[in-house]
């Protein structure tokens, strides 16, 4: 049991990578709190995780909602040992079609959401606490139509270093897991047509040295490593789990 008796907050824990990670953290002994926005996803996640878990509706674009959720968790459990700041989303658009509103929208979830979860949770984390953030292979490559999503992830990669530096004196580690293409509902929300999705999927699969999409559990296992004491001397880093896409 790598997370025995730990209290673990997983944002975006109602779907895909976050839900799979919440399940793994729970199997490893943690009490998990997942957040999401859609009532149906929250209900399904709560059912999958059972009654020791909490499933909270939190729109991470709203700092007041983050503060309230952290207060709820601390009221119930007294502390937070592990934060997996994982929620994220993106919309595809070519450079000439991007609007200021789209930039604000994507940064407010993918960057501000991560930033304020860390800011609000960190004061309640004891020495030995661990924060893991989900970045993306997109922060290492240029992809047509994904300039804003990629930039949000590059910003978050930078934040991992700064937050790691600020929290190290308190014995709190901050790291990122960087997924390659993973089979989750994420891609269907990018605003691409079925044909664009299929073509992009094929192109990505052939570009990945291991010739496939990854599974959410393969990211969950990396998040578990960073969250647990197995990574007790690891901070500020980004663990790449992308089938070799950005590495070979």
Ligand X SMILES: NC(=O)c1ccc[n+]([C@@H]2O[C@H](COP(=O)([O-])OP(=O)(O)OC[C@H]3O[C@@H](n4cnc5c(N)ncnc54)[C@H](OP(=O)(O)O)[C@@H]3O)[C@@H](O)[C@H]2O)c1
Q: Which of 12, 145, 164, 243 binds ligand X (CB under 6 A)?
A: 12
Report which secondary-structure segment, H or E, holds 234: none
8 Å CB contact between 220 and 28: no
How far apart, in whole angstroms, are the C-alpha atoms of residue 235 and residue 244?
22
Smallest distance, Å, CB 125 to ligand X? 20
Report which secondary-structure segment, H or E, holds 221: helix 216-227
Q: Is 247 a residue that touches ligand X (CB under 6 A)?
A: no
Beta strands in 1-125 (DSSP E): 7-11, 31-36, 54-57, 82-85
Nearer to ligand X, 143 or 232 (CB): 143
Q: Which of 32, 49, 93, 182 binds ligand X (CB under 6 A)?
A: 182
Nearer to ligand X, 130 or 184 (CB): 184
Nearer to ligand X, 170 or 212 (CB): 212
Q: Which of these segments, 97-105, 168-176, 177-185, 193-201, binds ligand X (CB under 6 A)?
A: 177-185
243: left (phi over 0), alpha (psi -120 to 50) or beta: left
- Residue span 34-63 as binding mask against ligand X, x where in contact by CB under 6 A, dash where not: --xxx--x----------------xxxx--
| 163 half-sphere exposure, CB direction, 13 A CA radius | 30
Q: Is 69 a residue that touches ligand X (CB under 6 A)?
A: no
- Residue span 78-97 as binding mask against ligand X, x where in contact by CB under 6 A, dash where not: --------xxxx--------
CA dihedral (110, 176, 173, 220) positive or negative = positive
79's tokens:
């502390």
Q: Is 112 a residue that touches ligand X (CB under 6 A)?
A: no
DSSP label at 91?
-
Smallest distance, Å, CB 54 to ligand X? 14
Among 162, 72, 70, residue whose Cα is nearest residue 117? 70
Q: Is 243 a residue that touches ligand X (CB under 6 A)?
A: no
Smallest distance, Å, CB 185 to ligand X? 4
Residues within the interface to ligand X (CB under 6 A): 12, 14-18, 36-38, 41, 58-61, 86-89, 109, 134, 136, 179, 181-182, 184-186, 189
């Amino acid at each position: 049991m790598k997370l025995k008796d730990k209290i673990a907050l997983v944002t975006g824990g109602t779907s895909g990578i976050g839900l799979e990670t919440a399940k793994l953290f729970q199997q490893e002994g943690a009490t998990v709190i997942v957040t999401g926005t859609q009532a149906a996803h929250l209900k399904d996640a709560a059912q999958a995780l059972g009654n020791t878990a909490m499933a909270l509706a939190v729109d991470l674009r709203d700092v007041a909602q983050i503060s309230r959720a952290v207060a709820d968790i601390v009221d119930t459990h007294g502390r937070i040992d592990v934060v997996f700041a994982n929620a994220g989303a993106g919309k595809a658009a070519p450079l000439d079609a991007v609007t200021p509103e789209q930039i604000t929208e994507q940064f407010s979830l993918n960057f501000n959401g991560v930033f304020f979860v860390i800011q609000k949770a960190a004061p309640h984390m004891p020495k030995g606490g661990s924060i893991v953030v989900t970045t993306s292979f997109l922060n290492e490559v240029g992809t047509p139509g994904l300039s804003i999503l990629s930039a949000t992830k590059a910003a978050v990669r930078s934040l991992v270093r700064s937050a790691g530096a600020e929290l190290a004196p308190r014995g709190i580690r901050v790291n990122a897991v960087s997924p390659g293409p993973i089979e989750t509902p994420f891609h269907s929300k990018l605003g691409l047509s079925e044909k664009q999705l299929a073509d992009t999927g094929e192109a990505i699969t052939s570009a990945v040295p291991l010739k496939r999409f990854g599974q959410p559990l393969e990211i969950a296992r990396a998040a578990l490593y960073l969250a647990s004491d197995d990574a007790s001397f690891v901070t500020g880093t980004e663990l790449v789990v992308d089938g070799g896409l950005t590495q070979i």
